[in-house]
């Protein structure tokens, strides 16, 4: 595989892999952050 193709393939995989693990984490953190205002009332 030419170096340029391999590099762009790596970039796309990098984005997809991090998206797959990042989305649930952000969802979980966001739902937790929503509970915080009660502490500061």
**Structure tokens belonging to residue 21:** 């693990």
CA distance 37 to 34: 7
Phi, psi at 36, each rounded to 5°: -65, -40
Nearest approach, Cβ of residue 8 and another protein (Å): 11
Residues 10-39 interacting with another protein (rule: CB under 8 A): 10, 13-14, 17-18, 20-21, 24-25, 27-29, 31-33, 35-39
Q: Which residues of the shown chain bind another protein in the complex (CB under 8 A)?
A: 3, 6-7, 10, 13-14, 17-18, 20-21, 24-25, 27-29, 31-33, 35-41
């Amino acid at each position: 595989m030419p170096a340029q193709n391999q590099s762009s393939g790596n970039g796309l995989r990098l984005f997809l892999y991090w998206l797959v693990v990042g989305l649930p984490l952000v969802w979980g953190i966001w739902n937790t952050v929503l509970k915080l205002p009660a502490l500061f009332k």
